[in-house]
Amino acid sequence: MAFLKVIPLEKALEVVDSLPLEPEMERISLEEALGRVLAEDTVSPIDVPPFNRATVDGYALRSEDTFMASESEPIRLKVVGEINAGDTPEIELNPGEAVYVSTGAPLPKNADAVVQFEDVDRKGNEVLIYKPAYPGLGVMKAGTDIPRGKGILKRGTRLTFKETALLSAVGLSRVKVFRKPRVAVISTGNELVLPGEELKPGRIYDINGRAITDAVRELGGEAVFLGIARDDRESLRTLVEKGIECCDIVILSGGASGGIRDLTSSIIEELGEVKVHGIAIQPGKPTIIGLIDGKPVFGLPGYPTSCLTNFTLLVAPLLRRLIGRESEVRKVKKRLAHKVFSVKGRRQFLPVRIEGDKAVPILKGSGAVTSFVDADGFIEVPENVEILEAGEEVEVTLFG
C-alpha cells in the first residue's frame, strides 16, 4: 500500500489510520495526573461518605426516642459521650441515650438522626429535645454521595482539577492514563537558523520547529525538537535516525527547496518505506508519509500555514487517537465573512479567523508567517468550486 504519486486526501487518511501504532497506557500518581487522559472507566472503590456522617454540630440519637417530644413535654436523653470528626465511633446507643457529635463525625451505632445543638437544651448530663426528629435528620448516609462500585469517570476523560479532586475523594492515588506519544521534530533547510543565533544574509529564523513542537505539546504529546537538518543526505539521515531512536513518531518540515523533499523520501526509502508521496490538496502536494522500524515519519510542507494545515489534517488525528482524545470535536460551523475565489480543479484549504459566528478568510498567501498566526483554522474549498459567497455556511477545522 505505497502510493508513489499524488493521491486524494481520503487515501492518505486511510494510510494514517492503518499505521501500526496503538495507544499505550501507564499508571501514574494522582499528583501528576492533571491534564492527562484517563485510559479506563473508573469506579469508586468506596462509599462516599464511607459512614453515616453528622452534617451539623449537635446530638446523635435514636429518632424513635423523640417521636413523643413537644415544646411543653421535652424528651430527656442521657448524654453518654462525644464523637468528633476523625474519631473512631466505638459508642453504641441504648434507648434513651444520646451522644454529642461535631460536624463530620461518624454516628454512633443505633443512632439515626442528629439534632442541632441550637435546637436543644443541655442540662448537665442530659439533653432536652423539644420536637420529634425524623430518621436521617442531620445525617448524610454512607454512600449517598457516591455509592461504592459506581462508575465515576469514563475512559477518555481529560482530567481537570475537578476530576483529580473526585479521584482523591474516592481514595485513588494512582490512575491509568494514556501514555504521551513521543514525537521528534526536525526542521530542514539550509536557509534556517534558530532564534538567538546570528541571522546571516539569506537566512531566516525557523518557525515550523517551534510551531510543531508546541502544537504536539498542546495536544498532550511529548515533543523533542531535534534541530535543523541541512540540505545534505548526511545531516538529514542522522537526525531522522535519531528521531526513530528516541521517539514514536518523526515529523519533518520541509525547507522552501524542492530538493529536500526528494532527499527526505530517498532517506525514508533507504531506512524503511515511503507510503505516501504527495496529496492532491493545496497546500499539501509535497507531503510525505513513511514508515521506519514501524514508526511513522511525516514530511510536511515548509510554509508555516501549509505545514500547520497538513499537521492538523494528518498528524493531529493520529496523536489524538494515541492519547485517547479521538472523540474531540475540532470542527465548527460558521458563515463566511466575505467572498473568496478558488482555482477550479484544485481542492484547496484556506486559513480563516473566527469572529463570533463568522469565518474571516485570511488571504495573505501561505508564505506569510502572520497568516497562520492570525488564523484559527481552515476551510475546504472543493475541486469543483470556484467561488464561495459571503454568508455561505462553512465548516472550520481548528488548527492543532
What φ, ψ does residue 95 adopt, rounded to 5°?
A: -50, 140
Strand partners, 218: none
Question: If we measure between CA atoms, which residue out of 281, 302, 290 comes closest to residue 346?
Answer: 281
Residue 35 or 294 with smaller CB distance to a second copy: 35
Distance CA 304, CA 373 (A): 9
Q: At a CB cut-off of 8 Å and minimum separation 6, what does 14 contact?
A: none
We find the least distance from the C-beta atom of residue 181 to a second copy, in angstroms, to be 16
Residue 20 or 196 with smaller CB distance to a second copy: 196
What Rg, from alpha-carbon coordinates, does the chain have? 32
Task: Please tell me whether residue 118 adopts helix, strand or coil conformation.
Answer: helix
We find the least distance from the C-beta atom of residue 390 to a second copy, in angstroms, to be 26
We find the least distance from the C-beta atom of residue 160 to a second copy, in angstroms, to be 7
We find the least distance from the C-beta atom of residue 14 to a second copy, in angstroms, to be 27
Strand partners, 307: none
Q: How many CB atoms lie within 10 A of CB 79?
A: 17
Under the phi-then-psi rule, with left for phi > 0, alpha for psi from -120 to 50, and beta for the rest, what region is 315?
alpha
Question: If we measure between CA atoms, which residue out of 215, 199, 184 comes closest to residue 316?
Answer: 215
If you write DSSP's letter for every residue of 253-287 in order, what string do you get? E--S-HHHHHHHHHHHHHHSEEEEE-BSSBTTTT-
Residues 182, 222 contacting (CB under 8 angstroms): yes
Residue 69 or 378 with smaller CB distance to a second copy: 378
Residue 20 or 201 with smaller CB distance to a second copy: 201
Residues 147, 46 contacting (CB under 8 angstroms): no
Residue 22 or 234 with smaller CB distance to a second copy: 234
Q: At a CB cut-off of 8 Å and minimum separation 6, what does 23 contact?
A: 39, 178, 179, 321, 322, 323, 324
Residue 5 or 162 with smaller CB distance to a second copy: 162
We find the least distance from the C-beta atom of residue 245 to a second copy, in angstroms, to be 21
Strand partners, 331: 397
Q: What letter would DSSP give residue 39? A: -
Residue 6 or 256 with smaller CB distance to a second copy: 256
Residue 7 or 169 with smaller CB distance to a second copy: 169
We find the least distance from the C-beta atom of residue 174 to a second copy, in angstroms, to be 7
Residues 253, 187 contacting (CB under 8 angstroms): yes
We find the least distance from the C-beta atom of residue 71 to a second copy, in angstroms, to be 24
Residue 255 or 278 with smaller CB distance to a second copy: 255
Residue 189 or 272 with smaller CB distance to a second copy: 189
Q: How far is CA 92 from the centre of its chain?
A: 49
We find the least distance from the C-beta atom of residue 211 to a second copy, in angstroms, to be 4
We find the least distance from the C-beta atom of residue 311 to a second copy, in angstroms, to be 10
- Grid cell 478568510 — which residue? 361
Distance CA 205, CA 193 (A): 5
We find the least distance from the C-beta atom of residue 154 to a second copy, in angstroms, to be 13
